[in-house]
Chains A and B, each alone.
Chain A
Amino acid sequence: EPEVTQTPSHQVTQMGQEVILRCVPISNHLYFYWYRQILGQKVEFLVSFYNNEISEKSEIFDDQFSVERPDGSNFTLKIRSTKLEDSAMYFCAGLNSGEQYFGPGTRLTVT
């Protein structure tokens, strides 16, 4: 059964550095999402993406964040200048027929 994959599984970076988190959704997914989950807290919506455009974004998704689907398969989240509070699990998700499937996540640690 196809799965959403994410790389890397764990990324450690220094404050102020740029990071790019990568996701490969399932091929028949049409809508794509990024969520984050700070340790011990709830899953928070960041952004939804459809037809190569952002559909909706949350207050968390400020100018430091951007998303891209550069080649029709990968879906990336870039954080331009990381802050300590960006440390979290970042989940990519894809949707088809109303069912949203999550990847295993990337643990981002900002030091």
Chain B
Amino acid sequence: QKEVEQDPGPLSVPEGAIVSLNCTYSNSAFQYFMWYRQYSRKGPELLMYTYSSGNKEDGRFTAQVDKSSKYISLFIRDSQPSDSATYLCAMTPAPGTYKYIFGTGTRLKVLA
């Protein structure tokens, strides 16, 4: 079983839709969770960073963590064509010296 599983998509939604992106993981040592957005041939851009189980909101983005199920989600409200990108989840036991493990990324296309 892979340490981090993420559906690669592509996921196509109409503009204004709510998007749900998910990752599952197998290693219970992971305690810190990140969501990145990556445009084609660019570096990953940090969107959300969470530690505890529960929800964290930032503008149109909500990150959700369920450590008991080893499941994390990113919700995008009122999606825009400019949200079209690949969304990567990443996780680590602790920020700092430990490695970060990335999911394969989900390609999202928001249609105008």
Contacts and interface: CB of A to CB of B under 8 A. Distances in A.
Contact of B102 (A42, A95, A105, A107): A42
Given A100-B34, A105-B42, A48 B49 contact: no
A54 B100 CA distance: 15
B101 A100 contact: no
B98 A98 contact: no
Contacts of A65: none
Contact of B44 (A44, A58, A98, A102): A102
B19 to A, nearest CB: 20
A89 B40 CA distance: 11
A102 B43 contact: yes
A104 B41 CA distance: 8
B97 A42 contact: no
B30 to A, nearest CB: 13
Interface of A: 4, 30-31, 33, 35, 41-45, 48, 50, 55-56, 58, 89, 91, 95, 98-105, 107
Interface of B: 32, 34, 36, 41-46, 49, 51, 88, 90, 95-105
Q: Which are the 3 A-B pairs with shortest beta-carbon distances?
A: A55-B97, A102-B43, A98-B95
